[in-house]
Amino acid sequence: MITFLTVEPPSFEHHRTTLGIGEAAPRLSWRVGTDLSGWLQRAYEIELTDGTATGVVESGESVLVPWPGAPLGSRERRGARVRVYGQDGSISAWSPWAYAEAGLLDPAEWTARAAAPPLALLGPPDGPALLLRRAFTARAAVASARLYVTAHGVHEMEINGEVVGDEVLAPGWTSYSHRLRYRTHDVTGLIRAGRNVIGATLADGWHRGRLGFHGGRTGLYGNRTALIAQLEITYTDGATHTIATDGRWRCAPGPITATSLYDGEKHDARLLPAGWSAPGFDDDAWFPVDLLDHDPALLVAPTGPPVRRVETLRPAVVLTGPAGERILDFGQNISGRLRIRVQGPAGHMVTLRHAEVLEDGALSLRPLRHAAACDRYTLRGEGVEEWEPRFTVHGFRYAEIIGWPGEFDPADVEAVVCHTDMRRTGRFAGSAPLLDRLHENVVWSMRGNFVDLPTDCPQRDERLGWTGDLQVFAPAASFLYDCAGALTSWLADLAAEQSALGTVPPYVPWIQLSFAAAPAAAWGDAAVIVPWVLYERFGDLGILRAQYPSMQAWVDQIASIAGESRLWDTGFQFGDWLDPAAPADDPGRSRTDHTLVATAYHAWTAQILADTAALLGHDDDAAGYGALAAAVREAFRAEFVTPAGRLAGDTQTAYALALRFNLLDKPEQRERAGRRLVELVELDGHRIGTGFVGTPLICDALVSAGAYGTAYRLLTQRECPSWLYPVTMGATTVWERWDSLLPDGSVNPGEMTSFNHYALGAVADFLHRVVAGLAPAAPGYRRLRVAPRPGGGLTHASADLDTPYGPASVAWNLTGGVLTVTATVPPNTTAEIDLPGSPPAEAGSGTHTFVARIPGEATWS
């Protein structure tokens, strides 16, 4: 038998692309491919293209290994390759080379000023997008050209009439007062000998446009937009030429007469100056830009991918509304916009309106609140014209087409799906079509709400980075997509906002709207829980190290608020937000005591911080926060738990918190709490009784009590409220409310009624870990736990995950009480196999099959 042992090219940090990275000493990861069963790494060698060689390093580590050479300098490109040695004596060949190039690592290297359109052209917020251009001359024999660019606003760049890059809404939304991302583009192929032009279209975006609910606010980061761009050309003889934003740039109106993230875009194609970003165009009538100061120290390279056009969808059905309107159903609720191909007379306008659902056959616009979600295109009148908005996105499944000239062909309209271009890593499938559709809905809700940052919803006048939503969803998100780089950026913003405000705000980036930032349990606790989840799922101890001051500041603040009582019983709380019993107009009025929820979270995050401190070698902190966690748990029991294990808050969420956060110290208390949770679920007819806080925990709490049958009956319930009720109502994403759409087809009367909200989809993590049985048993899946627990009438299920070490999978079939499990374990990892009715087993890398005869599902332990 011929065996093989190969190593993939190493990766750098969490980057998908490695041009313009911001780390001078990027950590390296590599993955091994082999048919050698049980293969484990004994040692590795790394070589860099500058001649650095580690020699043989005795270590089994292969994920986020420290950079072995001198730090990268700005603009420096260096390659790395790896060779590995197995514990069995095997030796691989060298991997292919992988390369990374640093961006501008020193703020002093930015010579670009902030080129701002003159006030005479700027217009009101969410007004026109403006054109900027600068002509320059290049010599022949260009060796390389790099464009470093960002904006106060959102931008699209062009060189010599060609669009640069494929990003959407660049540079995205960060906490602009603390961090502004720039991106690096290789534009070598766009530079010509002789005359060249670099151009930009610049719009308000998050910087100056309207943001937020209750009417929102404008100009939150400033009342001027500006472009910050630095084009650096290197010639073959080593000479360099820099074209930066300066006083030689010119500005003029363009065809986009108004553009808003919420309201949509107006584009008059007749106003496009032909050839404006190419040589030979006369810009003498254009206005000179104003030059504004900016702080280069705020400019940071991205740690994750940008928003891109990821997919296109054709109309599934063309409908006719009650007033004869033409409505396209794309069959899927998305975040994105439409692309049209249209032909008609000059000056003719086509209007595109968007909505997530229909009500009485027409677009349901009320859930959009103050977001118009309407695009308008005025034709140039020259043959077939193709158009797609550039600086807006909408959350929609349905689109009304108004004013289409001539005969309408559905093939001339497509929906363009836009979201952060993360790599898909995890999948789930089973024998229950409704559960599969639920899981697919969770995936689409993540896609629709990771639009540069993790948002609450993509459609209405909000789209904010709510901390509580991500806190509960982070485990599911980390399985479905490689979101480590994206969330690293968001956590950096969280820490910056927390430092400035003195607390973790309820959403990040923070913008002051109708209430002040104040600490709130489950929401602010994202500062501790999200870094911990990223450590568990990606094996990144560095994220804990970077976020440790933020984690510590949060726990210290809450300890101070709780005081000697250790009970967090003061201040505003969201509580178990959107408990299904909460009134439509008061989503925070949950059945579970707010102090119980807050104190439970305080105990949990104090314990996580203690564990983090121990990992980082902060032994005194570990002891201190461990003692704090124990004291809070004791205070919780004294206040809320009877000696027999009943809780003062007699709700599904209360018991789920107590069981999952290890708040009950006596076995008999845990046993009684588990039985009471089962009783409550049964009393509710196996319908869900939890909101944002309890929903991620309820199924795991039930199975921790041995009540697998109850957990499955809850999971597979179809009556409202339940996870599957929206699926039976035709949902293609997860709803904000359990009953966003009422059984009669009408929209919930509550002001907050989104049909694309991932928080309640946190149950997907249970599908992965328990239903399919694939879970991490060590950080980053260095050790896997294979422990499927079939139930709910399922006859088969599977989960696949592209782990940091390679592809892992679990697939099981259940026939006549015999459970057959096939598990794939990546090289350099091991797995613990825990099947019902069978003793635990161990497995090394490779594909293995296990067979067990299982007892009744309701009695599994």
Q: Which residues are designated catalytic?
A: 462, 736
The answer, yes or no, to whether the previous bond of 288 is cis (omega within 30 of 0) is: no
Token duo for residue 118: 């003159």
Structure tokens at 738: 């359990």
How far is it, in rounded angstroms, from Cα 723 to Cα 438? 7
Distances (CA, A) of 543 to 102, 330, 784: 20, 39, 21
> Helices 619-640 & 541-562, crossing angle to 10 degrees?
50
Quote the CA–CA distance of 506 and 504 in Å, as a whole number: 7
Nearest to 696 by CA among 522, 520, 480: 522
Q: How many CB atoms lie within 10 A of CB 823?
A: 22
Q: Would you state the structure tokens that stand for residue 550, as one six-digit string?
A: 């933020």
Alpha carbon 669 to chain centroid distance?
38
With helix as H, strand as E and coil as C, how does 113-173 read? CEEECCHHHHCCCCCCCEEEEEEEEECCCEEEEEEEEEEECEEEEEECCEECCCECCECCC
CA atoms within 13 A on the CB side of 765: 23
Structure tokens given for 102? 């640093």
Residue 21 near residue 100 (C-beta atoms within 8 A): yes
Decide: helix, strand or coil at residue 90.
coil
Q: For strand 774-776 and strand 783-786, is the pairing parallel, antiparallel, or unpaired?
A: antiparallel
Q: Work out whether the CA dihedral 470, 773, 485, 27 comes out positive or negative.
A: positive
| Tokens 């065996």 sit on residue | 3
Cis-peptide, bond into residue 721, ω within 30° of zero: yes
Nearest to 854 by CA among 811, 813, 809, 800: 813
Between the CA of residue 721 and those of 296, 437, 580, 743, what are the distances in Å? 51, 17, 7, 11
Instruction: Categorise residue 49: left if φ over 0, alpha if ψ from -120 to 50, beta otherwise.
Output: alpha
Residues in Cβ contact with 711 at an 8 Å cutoff, skipping those fewer than 6 apart? 698, 699, 702, 703, 770, 791
How does strand 264-268 pair with strand 374-378? parallel
